[in-house]
């Protein structure tokens, strides 16, 4: 007898899903048939544009808002995705803040802002994900290859992402027996507004030469790595994947 029951739709929540790498991740997961919650912090219109692009291509998506460092707001965002799609299988935490300055001149208010989003925000989202992601699912955090590349002026940012790299494998071990993988992606220089803003062409050219492939990464390059971890990569767990074209 043939089983005609349709497989359940997999569901993802992508924080920071309205632009840059986050939007590329949303669109890539949607192409794999995953229903997506597109999270935004402040730009609802851009999130709704991303949702419209997904639905126009035949996918399913909704926009959900909230400060990633606010546990109540993120609980509501997770709740909204679960109400709409019936559960959550994949959480991709791309949301982050990058403020650059030499250590000697960094405004400590900027340090606090960055750590609130990048450290507390990652912890809050990981905590919600650990409580909710269904068996067979994946939690994917975001770090940076600057933790290895050691670019000047990135000290505070890299320090905040070092915390993400410490948290990720520990959470993987804490979820023993749940059949949920926990990994982090650490992009190298990637052509997003976050990277390109304020840089002249000479600086961009130098960054382009960091990898043996002699180009900047693209959001789509990073999204392919996420799709791998979200889908077939069931034996990769507790790892930091440096998606940087061989730069480090």
Annotated catalytic sites, by residue?
Answer: 157
Cβ contacts of 154 within 8 Å, gap of 6 or more: 100, 144, 146
Residue 83 burial (CB count, 10 A): 9
DSSP 99: -
Cβ contacts of 76 within 8 Å, gap of 6 or more: 64, 66
Residue 140 bridge partners (DSSP): 92, 183
Residue 37 burial (CB count, 10 A): 26
Q: How far apart are alpha carbons 84 and 8 in whole angstroms?
A: 14
> If DSSP codes are grouped into helix, strand and coil, which group holds residue 140?
strand
Q: How far apart are alpha carbons 18 and 23 in whole angstroms?
A: 5
Exposed e or buried b per residue across 6-24, where buried means at least 16 C-beta atoms within 10 angstroms of its C-beta: eeeebbbbbbbbbbbbbbb
Q: How far apart are alpha carbons 229 and 82 in whole angstroms?
A: 21
Run of H or E including 210? none
């Amino acid at each position: 007898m043939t089983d005609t029951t349709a497989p359940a739709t997999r569901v993802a929540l992508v924080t920071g899903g309205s632009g840059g790498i986050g939007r590329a991740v949303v669109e890539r997961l949607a192409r794999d048939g995953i229903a997506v919650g597109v999270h935004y912090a402040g730009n609802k219109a851009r999130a709704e544009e991303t949702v419209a692009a997904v639905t126009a291509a035949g996918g399913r998506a909704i926009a959900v808002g909230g400060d990633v460092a606010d546990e109540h707001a993120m609980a509501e965002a997770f709740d909204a995705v679960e109400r709409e799609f019936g559960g959550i299988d994949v959480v991709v935490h791309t949301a982050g803040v990058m403020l650059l300055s030499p250590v000697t001149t960094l405004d400590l208010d900027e340090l606090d802002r960055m750590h609130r989003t990048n450290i507390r925000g990652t912890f809050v989202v990981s905590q919600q994900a650990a409580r909710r992601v269904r068996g067979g699912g994946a939690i994917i955090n975001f770090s940076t290859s600057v933790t290895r590349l050691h670019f000047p002026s990135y000290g505070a940012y890299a320090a905040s992402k070092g915390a993400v790299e410490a948290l990720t494998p520990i959470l993987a071990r804490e979820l023993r027996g749940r059949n949920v993988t926990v990994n982090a992606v650490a992009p190298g220089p990637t052509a997003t507004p976050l990277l390109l803003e304020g840089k002249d062409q000479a600086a961009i050219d130098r960054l382009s030469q960091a990898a043996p492939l002699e180009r900047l990464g693209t959001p789509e390059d990073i999204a392919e790595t996420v799709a791998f971890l979200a889908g077939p990569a069931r034996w990769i767990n507790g790892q930091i994947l440096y998606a940087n074209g061989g730069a480090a």
